[in-house]
Amino acid sequence: MLEIEENNDITLITQPVSLAELKQIAELRFGDLVKGVVDIEQKIMAIGGELHADEEAYLLAQGSHQQNLWGINLYPDKTFPELVEFDSMINIRPSQNNRSRSVEDENIRKVIFEIVGSLITASKRDPASAVVKN
Amino acid sequence: MDKVYHKSLAAGRWFGMSLAEQLGNVGSEVGRAIAAQKSGEKQREENAKERAIELFDLTVSDIRWSARLKELVRGREVLVDWFYGNNIYGSSPQNLEKYFYYFAYAARKAR
C-alpha cells in the first residue's frame, strides 16, 4: 500500500513506494514519466502533478522552504539512477546560483539521488533493496 | 493592427481547453519552429515562433491558471530566451520538445 497523502493529483511520498506503484502513477497522466519535487531537508517528495509548480506549491503549503525544493522527472521504466532526470522550470533559481532547468550543484544532486533511492524501491516487500545500481 | 494568428482561439476557444491541451498546442508550434530551423526555412521558423508565443501568452492570460503562473511565465521566459535570446537557460531542441511533448500526451490520454 502506498504510504501517501493525496491532494487532487499530487501524492506526498514520505515512505518507500515501489517502482510498480510509480509506474501506475505515470500511466495516469504522462505515460512513462512522473513529475516530482523533492524536499532535500525533510527528505520527502511530492509527485504526480501536472506542473512541477503545482507540487512545489503543495510542499510550500506543507511547510517546506523554497530553497530546499528541486524539480525532477522520474521514469519508472528505467533503473536507478537513470530513472531520475533533473529538468524542471522551478529549478531556475539564480538566487541559488542555479541558472538552468537542471540541478547544477553536484552535492544537491547527490542528496536528491539519496532521497529518491530511499523512497523508491524495487518492490513493496523489500524496501531495503532500494533500486541502487552498483 | 496587431498580428493575430489564432483568431478563434484568442476569441475564446483556447480558454475551454485543459492546460495540457494548451501546452501541447504550444509545443506543436515549438516543434514546427525547430523543424523549420533545421531545414533552414527562416520565414517558417519565425512564423512558428510567433505562433508559439501567441499561444503561450493566451495560456498565461487564462485566469484559470492564475495560481499556477510561476511555471508558466518561467516557461515562456525559457522559450523566448531560446528563440531570441542568448540561451542563458541552456535549452536544447530536445529538452524543449520533451517538455511540451508530455502535455500533448496527457491531453490525448484525457480524451
Instruction: At B60, give phi and psi (nearest 5°).
Output: -60, -30
- Interchain pair B78, A31: CB under 8 A: no
Q: What is the mean pLDDT of residues A33-43?
A: 97
pTM of the complete model: 0.83
pLDDT at A75: 95
B12 Cα to chain A: minimum distance (Å): 23
Quote the cell numbers at residue B29: 508550434
CA separation for the pair B14, B87 (Å, rounded) = 29
A21 touches chain B (CB under 8 A): no
pLDDT (tens digit, 9 = 90+) per residue, A77-131? 999 999 999 999 999 988 999 989 999 999 999 999 999 999 998 765 444 444 3
**pLDDT bracket for residue B2 (50, 70, 90):** low
Residue B71 at interface with chain A, using a CB cutoff of 8 Å: yes
Whether residue B13 has pLDDT greater than 90:
no
State the DSSP string of B78-109: HHHHHHHS--TT---HHHHHHHHHHHHHHHHH
pLDDT tens for B19-45 read 999 999 999 999 999 999 999 999 999
- Whether B92 shows a pLDDT value over 60: the answer reads yes
Query: In chain B, which residue's Cα lies nearest the Cα of A54?
Result: B68
Cβ distance A50 to B19 less than 8 Å, yes or no, reads yes
Which of A75, A103, A109 has the alpha carbon at shortest distance from A89?
A103
Sign of CA dihedral B65, B69, B74, B77: positive
The ipTM (two decimal places) reads: 0.78
The DSSP line for A98-113 is B-SSS---HHHHHHHH
Chain B interface includes A67 (CB < 8 A): no
For residue A53, which residues of chain B lie inside 8 Å, CB to CB? 68, 70-72
Q: Which residues are CB-neighbours of A88 under 8 A, at least 6 positions away?
A: A35, A37, A52, A70, A71, A72, A73, A101
**For residue A3, pLDDT beyond 80:** no
Strands across the sheet with A34-39, in order?
A4-7, A10-13, A44-47, A34-39, A69-74, A84-85
* pLDDT computed for residue B58 by the predictor: 95
Neighbours of A125 (CB within 10 A): 9
How far apart, in whole angstroms, are the C-alpha atoms of residue A128 and residue A126? 5
Q: Which of B47, B46, B4, B54 is nearest to B25 (CA)?
A: B54
Q: Is A88 left (phi over 0), alpha (psi -120 to 50) or beta?
A: beta
Please state the φ and ψ torsions of residue B22, each to the nearest 5 degrees.
-60, -50
* Cβ <8 Å between A50 and B106: yes
Higher per-residue confidence, B51 vs B4: B51
Cross-chain residue pair A51–B71, CB shorter than 8 Å: yes
Q: Which of B20, B74, B90 lies closest to A50 in CB terms? A: B20
User: What is the average pLDDT across B97-104?
Assistant: 94
CA A27 to chain centre: 16
Instruction: Please tell me the distance from the alpha carbon of residue B12 to that of residue B110, in angstroms, as a whole number.
Output: 21
* Chain A residues inside the 8 Å CB shell of B88: 99
Q: Identify the residue among B62, B70, B79 best suited for mutation to test binding to A, counting A beta carbons within 10 A and taking the highest.
A: B70
Q: What is the spatial distance between Cα B53 and Cα B39, in angstroms, rounded to a whole number? A: 21
| Whether the Cβ atoms of residue A59 and residue A13 lie closer than 8 Å to each other | no
pLDDT at A1: 40
Burial class (CB in 10 A: 0-12, 13-18, 19+), B77: middle
pLDDT at A20: 94
